[in-house]
Amino acid sequence: MGRVPHEQEVKVILKTQKKHFDAICTLIEKNASYETNEILSVSIDQGSKAYVEWVFDALKSN
């Protein structure tokens, strides 16, 4: 069996639109030191109207 590394890591939660997922994955994979990065997408079925509008407004220029 291989050895289990004990290194510091940082968990990052990014909130964006689905259309940006591939670009974000590419950026993380190019810059992270892990061989296999934990990159997940979570679909949102519901959210507060104000928060969902804020996310979409913040991404309008993208």
With b meaning 16 or more CB within 10 Å and e meaning fewer, what string describes 27-59? eeeeeeeeeeeeeeeeeeeeeeeeeeeeeeeee
pTM for the predicted model, two decimal places: 0.67
For the stretch 16-48, pLDDT in tens is 889 999 999 999 999 998 889 999 999 888 999
pLDDT at 1 > cutoff 60? yes
pLDDT band (50, 70, 90) for residue 62 = low
